[in-house]
Amino acid sequence: MKLISTVVIVDGASTSAYLAPAFRSYGVQCVHVLSSETLPERLRAQINHSDFIRSLVYQGDIRVLAENLKDLQIDVVLPGGGSGIELAAELAEALDVPYKNPVHLAKARRHKFEQIEVLSRSGLLTPRQYQSEQADEIVEWTQAHLTLPVVVKPTRGAGVSGVKVCHTLSQVREAAENILNSKSYYDEDQNEILVQSCTQGQEYIVDIVSFDGHHKVVSVWEVDRDRRESPRLEKMMVVDHTQHRFSALIDYAKKVLDAVGLKFGPSHMEVMLTVDGPVIVELNSRLHGSLDPLLTTAVTGENHVSATVNAFVNNAHFIDSIGKAPGFSGYCGHVLLVSPVSGRQLQNFPWDRIESLPSFVSVKRWVKPDGQLQVTTGLQTAIGMVGLFHENFEQLNRDWKTIRAIENEYFMVPQASAEPA
């Protein structure tokens, strides 16, 4: 077993902001690389540069970036967010680090169309799909080859931003044009549109950490979404993935990782369990975003961050642990707080009622007091996210239903008009 010295993290926002402090607790140095100066401020603000011995900004030349790191003993380059996946692979190759994923498959680990093409060629069940830079071509291909509804999405999106479930061809056209006229979740220009068949089944999220092609399942989440327009998250609950009924799902997820060459690092995969078997929605070759690590730690004793760190600081222990079934001390979940309206101010929201629920653990408040609400279509337009944990699954079930009732009561009451001047 080789002891690691230095880890590079590319775009270390969201859940990956936990990585550097965790590595540092073992005496491992961390370097931060920003993939672009145009990365949105809401993400850049989450990066704590005091956690890193060096912070660099990629200026478009991988050789220059590698040269600025050659004095350090870099062992692994990890993407923090989707925006860092391809750059992390290119930098790892340029530095020739000992733990790296094949650079020729880096695009398949980020680009939604290329990803599905690679998986299809590997013999895995996948959605039917087509990619174009023209809205007209997307509409024409959909009409000729798919049955409505279909899913239209950007090829490099995240957080369901720009993803639409379309029930008519006019909706397909509108969704395609909206993608071309917008920026990605990471503020990148979007010039590619992807249309896919709409897979029917129960969705699961599979969070895995890999080391040298050995894949450890950290958590499996049963997911509920509102699929009327965007596939907006409603809630996700951890399940006991050691049960036999999840074997096919997990086997499929591991084959996906093998096909795209994800040998080292964390992954977050969305899979539909259909009557024909598991079918990929998409793979995100990074940590599970907007995650409260405390929740899964309370359930099984580890989380996506801790498992990632363990894989590199003690890979022998990590690989040995893959064959040992985790013990479950309870169940956890995340519930998205949603707004059905736009233009209303968030005043007197009943946070105290949510925080008094028996399974309440944490809440992320994404709309400021008196901030303007938007109809929730994804994480960026949500009121917040509630983390739940309880030893009893039925209590967890009751509490998320109570959260929905609290929301409904809040929005049923008309907002008071401002007092005249």
- Condensed to tens digits (0 to 9), the pLDDT of residues 263-272 reads 999 999 999 9
Tell me, yes or no, whether 113 lies in a domain. no
Residues 143 and 189 in one domain: yes
Answer whether residue 157 shows pLDDT above 80: yes
Domain limits at 313? Answer: 200-329
Which residue in 202, 219, 169 sits closest to 275, CA to CA?
A: 202
pLDDT confidence of residue 399: 98
Residues 270 and 354 in one domain: no
pLDDT bin (cut points 50, 70, 90) of residue 416 is: low
Answer whether residue 421 shows pLDDT above 60: no
Residues 192 and 295 in one domain: no
Answer whether residue 418 shows pLDDT above 60: no
Instruction: Please report, for the domain that includes residue 177, its CATH number.
Output: 3.30.1490.20
Region 128-143: mean pLDDT is 98
pLDDT confidence of residue 160: 81
Answer whether residue 417 shows pLDDT above 70: no
Residues 276 and 370 in one domain: no
Q: How far apart are CA 37 and CA 45, in angstroms?
A: 13
List the structure tokens of 115.
Answer: 């990803």
373-401 pLDDT, tens digit each: 999 988 889 999 999 999 999 999 999 99
Percent of the chain with pLDDT over 90: 91
Residues 55 and 158 in one domain: no
Tell me, yes or no, whether 418 lies in a domain. no
Q: How far apart are CA 25 and CA 29, in angstroms?
A: 9
Tell me, yes or no, whether 33 lies in a domain. yes
pLDDT confidence of residue 379: 84
pLDDT bin (cut points 50, 70, 90) of residue 237 is: very high
**What rounded mean pLDDT belongs to the chain?**
95
Tell me, yes or no, whether 118 lies in a domain. no
Residues 302 and 322 in one domain: yes
Q: 215 near 208, Cβ under 8 Å?
A: yes
Residues 177 and 257 in one domain: no
List the structure tokens of 253.
Answer: 């997820």
Burial 16-41 (b: 16+ CB within 10 A, else e): bbbbbebbbeeebbbbbbbbbeebbe
| Total-model pTM | 0.95
Residues 14 and 51 in one domain: yes
The pair phi, psi for residue 225, each rounded to 5°, is -130, 155
The CB-based long-range contact list for 118-123 (8 Å cut-off, 24+ gap) reads 118/259, 118/260, 119/256, 119/259, 119/260, 119/280, 122/255, 122/259
Residues 156 and 220 in one domain: no
Higher pLDDT residue, 1 or 321?
321
298-311 pLDDT, tens digit each: 999 999 999 999 99
Burial 64-97 (b: 16+ CB within 10 A, else e): ebbeebeeeebbbbbbbbbbbbbbbbbbbbbbeb
Tell me, yes or no, whether 289 lies in a domain. yes
- Give, in order, the Cα–Cα distances in Å from 267 to each of 79, 186, 219: 10, 18, 11
pLDDT confidence of residue 276: 96
Identify the burial level of 9 via C-beta atoms within 10 angstroms of its C-beta, where 0-12 means exposed, 13-18 middle and 19 or more buried: buried
Q: How far apart are CA 374 and CA 411, in angstroms?
A: 13
Which residue in 76, 20, 407, 2 sits closest to 265, CA to CA?
A: 76
Residues 156 and 207 in one domain: no
Lowest-pLDDT choice from 40-49, 221-230, 303-312: 221-230
Tell me, yes or no, whether 374 lies in a domain. yes
Region 180-205: mean pLDDT is 94
Amino acid at 104: H
Question: Cβ–Cβ contacts within 10 Å for residue 409, how many?
Answer: 11
